[in-house]
Structure 1
Amino acid sequence: MLISSYDRTIFLIKTVVKLVQATCGLSIRCFLAVLDLAPFPLRSHEVSEDKLFAVMLGGNPAGTSVEIHDVVFAVGPDIESIGGQLLKAWFAPGKAPHVDSWMILDMVDGACISLDTDAAPDGALDLWHVNLGFYEAGKASFVEGHENLFVIASTADEAKARAKQLATRAGSAQLHTDALHRVSDRLAALGSPFRIRVTRTEAAGQPLAHDGYKPFAKDFLKANGFNA
């Protein structure tokens, strides 16, 4: 059977993508973004083809009168596979949380994000989660607004400055940093062996948020020690 040049080209592209994923841990989206960069070296340490997820959990733990939110991180092939990690990361036992939003952190702030077991050297670029607080100028709405940003920086001070530069609420009154975390540190606190590797490329985009109420299955909650 004759194979067309088109079929050979598609086969070659798929083979190269799989090779880069296996050796560098990059998603296909990131691979396409770094085609114009120098070739990556083969690595002797472990890399992951799983994805890095940032998830906004919401819930009403005992003793609260309004819904509380927290941003947690997990690693897995898809959103359905990381439920156990999300419940483990939730700060309060008892009444279960739910998912309010989630995103895959594969392309952030002009860089591709991958996972491997080598820690980044001191001073290297890293992935940071910055939670900014603000108040709407001229409004008394009895609430503090928040914006969550993911940025690439070498230090905490650089991460704060970059987040305020990118914030959609940059003109809001009293814009301030409420929380700042290196994502690798959050993964380590959850017992994950993987750390963040940052690959700069100006072609990289931003993560896409998937907003919407997503409860856990009742049987799954019960098996993990939570009340529905």
Structure 2
Amino acid sequence: MNLFMLLLGCKPSSRHVEQHDIYFGIAERLGELVPSIEAYWPEAKGEIHVDAWRAVTKVGSYQISISEEPVNNGSLKLYFVNMGGYKPNDMEEYHYKEMVVAYNLEEAKEVAKETVFFKHHISPHIDDKYGIDVDDVYEIEELLPALFKGKYYVKIREEQHDFLKEDDITNGYFTMEILRDQLE
């Protein structure tokens, strides 16, 4: 089984521009997530798509895997951090999505502050708050849809050597139909 991180996009009927959200799911193959993706964002009314995705196997110096049995990660947890910032004279809020392994929310925020994104933006923030706010740092297991909770567990193992390959991020425009086709 794999932990997948997806950037979902859709344009709900009452909106003028496409909106995005991050979705985490667990499956053997990406296409198996289609029903839970559609249930996650019902306002999309079947018009949802994936703009980017990755199978999460490495975060920093840690190997990430999924277990069907409860695991003992000590106090380590996997976190998702969404940071945003602005550029002068640009009507856009840029976001940087970071995954970190840390012992607690405070440490996760500190690790996120060390990213290139945070250091190179004049007014970095998470959503509309300046600075890093604990409300916008999430433990991955909290973000998983209910159908995965208690059935799968995130396993975190520190690698002493840098043998782990960085996760590939696949960008594009993938409809639910394209994802379903991956099952065949």
* TM-score of the two chains, using structure 2 as the length reference: 0.81
How many percent identity over aligned positions? 23
- Please point out which of 44, 50, 56 is paired with 2:7: 56
Q: 1:54 to 1:106 in 2, by over 3 A?
A: same
Q: Which runs of 5+ in 2 are unaligned?
A: 128-135
Shift in alpha-carbon separation, 1:91–1:173, aligned structure 2, 3 A: farther
1:106 paired with 2:54, answer: no
CA contact (8 A) 1:61 1:95 kept: no
Q: Is the 8 A contact 1:59 1:68 kept in 2?
A: yes
Q: How many pairs are equivalent?
A: 166
The answer for the alignment partner of 2:115 in structure 1 is: 166
* Alignment-derived partner of residue 172 in structure 2: 212
Name which of 173, 176, 180 aligns with 2:125: 176
**1:120 touches 1:196 (CA, 8 Å); kept in 2?**
no
Q: Is the 8 A contact 1:160 1:177 kept in 2?
A: no
Distance 1:200 1:91, change over 3 A: farther
Alignment correspondent of 1:150: 99
Q: Tell me which of the two structures has the higher relative contact order, counting C-alpha pairs closer than 8 angstroms and 6 or more residues apart.
A: 2
Q: Once the two structures are superposed, what CA deviation does each residue of 1:62-91 show, in whole Å capped at 9, x if it has no partner? A: 321111000001111122222122222226
Structure 1 position 118 matched with structure 2 position 31: no
Instruction: State the alpha-carbon separation in 2 of the partners of residues 72 and 182 from structure 1.
Output: 13
RMSD of aligned residue pairs (Cα, Å) = 2.1
Deviation at 1:167, TM superposition (A): 3.7
Once residues 167 and 85 of structure 1 are traced to their aligned partners in structure 2, the CA distance between those partners, rounded to angstroms, is 33
Q: 1:200, CA displacement in angstroms?
A: 0.6
Q: Please identify the structure whose Cα radius of gyration is greater.
A: 1
What is the CA–CA distance in structure 2 between the aligned matches of 1:58 and 1:52, rounded to whole Å?
A: 19
Aligned partner of 2:131 in structure 1 is none
Q: Which amino acid aligns with 2:156?
A: V
Question: Could you list the runs of 5+ residues in structure 1 that have no partner in the other structure?
Answer: 1-49, 221-228
Are the equivalent residues in 2 in contact too, given 1:57–1:70 (CA < 8 A)? Answer: yes
CA distance in 1, matches of 2:119, 2:175: 33
Residues 190 and 96 (structure 1), Cα distance of their counterparts in 2 relative to 1, 3 Å cut = farther
- Cα deviation, 1:85-138, whole Å, max 9, x if unaligned, reads 2222226252521010000001111101122231657x71111111001112xx
Paired residue type of 1:149: E
Identify, as 1 or 2, the structure richer in helix.
1
2:32 aligned partner: 81
Q: Partner amino acid for 2:155?
A: R
How many Å apart are 1:206 and its aligned residue? Answer: 3.2
| Partner residue, 2:154 | 196
Counterpart in the other structure of 1:128: 79
Counterpart Cα distance in 1 of 2:165 and 2:99 = 12
For residue 172 of structure 1, report the CA deviation from its aligned partner. 0.4
Deviations for 1:135-159, whole angstroms, at most 9, x for unmatched residues?
A: 12xx211111100011111111111
Give how far 1:61 is off: 1.3
Residue-by-residue CA offset, 1:178-225 (whole Å, 9 max, x unaligned) = 3321111112x432121211101142343221011111229x7xxxxx
Runs (4+) off by over 3 Å: none
